[in-house]
Amino acid sequence: MDHANLLRPADEAELAVLVAEAAGSGRSLELIGKATKRGLGRPVASEAMVDLSCLTGVIDYSPEELVLTARPGTPLSEIEATVGAASQMLAFEPPDFGPLYGGVAGAGTLGGTLACNLSGPRRLKAGAARDHFLGFRAVNGRGEAFKAGGKVVKNVTGYDLCKVIAGSYGTLVALTEVTIKVLPAPEATMTLCLMGLAPDAAMTVLGMALASPHEISAAAYTPAEITTDLTPLGASACAAIRIEGVAPSVKARALALRDLLGKQGEVSSIEGEVARRFWIALRDVAPFACHNEPLWRLSVPPAVGAKAQARLIEAMPGARLYHDWGGGLIWLIAPSAKDAAATAVRGALAGLGGHATLVRAPLEARAHGPVFEPQEPALDALSRRLKASFDPRAIFNRGRMYEGV
């Protein structure tokens, strides 16, 4: 990356020394891996940049223990190839946001994925990145190397610090080693598509599937233009339901779901490479990669997905969106506005019990408007105290999440 002061520690010990020095002088540091998601969050003004991408390599992986330990600079693509060779996967289906921010695919690191707590379509069944983050080593803002969690799948010894590190966007610690849970990859998969449903009917269908015992592993709703780009199913809205598992089970559940949902609309299906690419595209927000307008990520209670959509379109007639997580996640391209449409987006969500994150926007908009949903005063104060407990001089990624945090 381009920075006047670029530091590239080779190991944890070197990192600890340079952080201790920065802490001593109060110099701010921007932490990066491959910098593929540097556009996510508020811009960080730092006196030096710390490139952690030299901390690479899988340290331990034994498939039958369901645990993998690696250095955080290891490319996610390398981790996925390693576990894939043992017919396993990262069940939270981590997205690759490289192209979303104008970079290349396959460059992002495991550490960056965990730091941003990024999860894909399977999140609704398997949980988020944070649910698979078992332990770590890191350097805190005092320059102290420490560890938390463990290297086994079941552990309640001490505070579960993995949870706050996941989704902390590098504002608390610099990771030096991470241990994650891995799971068997499904032998077979099938995606059923209910075509041509209006948003409220589509959400009802997704809800019916998710309330059934058929173990839905992904549930999305794409408008006609996205369906036609990603599938051979034509220009029609698609409520897509994915099932995974052993082949006889997938076959039986597909039949059962056709029975259950057949009355709600025409049922098509996609399989193989087409289905795989469809879910990867939704995971990576590929339909909105090549746009200039602000990109928002909305997390809402699944049952209000259709209502949220109606309000968003009413407030911003030119907006484009699609749903994942059974209606609980909305990706939205908002027409450009002075505040990156923050007022319109957050206004539309008011009272629905959700929140919005400005995932991609010009630097100016991210610098001056709240990228992450503003918090109530007691939580905001707690967030600042938590930040200080790891990083008392606020040297790591200062301001990435909130002003000063």
- Work out which of 99, 101, 127, 339 binds other proteins, going by CB under 8 A: 127
Fill in the amino acid letter for 154.
K
The H or E element containing residue 140 is strand 133-140
| CA-to-CA separations, 70 to 120, 262, 359, in angstroms, rounded | 21, 46, 27
Q: With binding defined as CB under 8 A, does residue 313 bind other proteins?
A: no
- Work out which of 73, 167, 223, 265 binds other proteins, going by CB under 8 A: 167
Q: With binding defined as CB under 8 A, does residue 201 bind other proteins?
A: no
Contact 209, 260 (CB under 8 A): yes
- Work out which of 161, 333, 334, 359 binds other proteins, going by CB under 8 A: 161
Binding segment (CB under 8 A) for other proteins, from list 36-44, 284-292, 315-323, 354-362: 354-362
DSSP 199-242: HHHHHHHHHHHHHSSS-EEEEEEE-HHHHHHH-TT-SS-EEEEE
Q: With binding defined as CB under 8 A, does residue 192 bind other proteins?
A: no
Instruction: State the Cα angle at 169 between 163 and 171, rounded to 5°.
Output: 90
- Residue 17: Cβ within 10 Å count: 13
Closer residue to other proteins (CB): 223 or 245: 245
Q: With binding defined as CB under 8 A, does residue 159 bind other proteins?
A: yes
Rg over alpha carbons for the chain, rounded to the nearest Å, is 21
| CA-to-CA separations, 306 to 133, 210, 264, in angstroms, rounded | 32, 16, 16
Q: With binding defined as CB under 8 A, does residue 272 bind other proteins?
A: no
Closer residue to other proteins (CB): 166 or 195: 166
Site residues for other proteins, 17-36, by CB under 8 A, read 17-18, 20-27
Q: With binding defined as CB under 8 A, does residue 78 bind other proteins?
A: no
- Work out which of 70, 275, 345, 401 binds other proteins, going by CB under 8 A: 401
Closer residue to other proteins (CB): 103 or 167: 167
- Work out which of 225, 379, 403, 404 binds other proteins, going by CB under 8 A: 379
> 179 by DSSP, 3-state: which?
strand
Sheet holding 216-222, edge to edge: 266-270, 188-195, 238-245, 216-222, 320-324, 329-333, 295-299, 355-360
Count Cα atoms within 13 angstroms, Cβ side, for 322.
26
Q: With binding defined as CB under 8 A, does residue 310 bind other proteins?
A: no
Q: What is the CA 292 to chain-centroid distance, rounded?
A: 21
Contact 113, 283 (CB under 8 A): no
Closer residue to other proteins (CB): 106 or 150: 150
Closer residue to other proteins (CB): 145 or 224: 145
Contact 322, 330 (CB under 8 A): yes
Closer residue to other proteins (CB): 20 or 105: 20
Binding segment (CB under 8 A) for other proteins, from list 70-78, 93-101, 166-174, 280-288: 166-174
The 217-256 site mask, x for binding other proteins (CB under 8 A), equals: ----------------------------xx-xx-xxx--x
CB of 14 to other proteins, least distance (A): 10
Q: With binding defined as CB under 8 A, does residue 67 bind other proteins?
A: yes
Please report where in the chains the tokens 């969500």 appear, as a residue.
Answer: 349
- Please, what sign has the CA dihedral across residues 103, 105, 111, 114? positive
Fill in the amino acid letter for 170.
G
Q: With binding defined as CB under 8 A, does residue 355 bind other proteins?
A: yes
Q: Which alpha helices (DSSP H) does 160-198 contain, by range?
A: 161-165
- Work out which of 45, 57, 59, 62 binds other proteins, going by CB under 8 A: 62
- Work out which of 8, 56, 61, 66 binds other proteins, going by CB under 8 A: 66
- Work out which of 11, 59, 87, 291 binds other proteins, going by CB under 8 A: 87
CB of 104 to other proteins, least distance (A): 27
Total number of residues shown for the chain: 405
Site residues for other proteins, 105-124, by CB under 8 A, read 117, 123-124
Q: With binding defined as CB under 8 A, does residue 65 bind other proteins?
A: yes
Distance CA 168, CA 401 (A): 8
- Work out which of 10, 64, 232, 351 binds other proteins, going by CB under 8 A: 64
Q: With binding defined as CB under 8 A, does residue 200 bind other proteins?
A: no
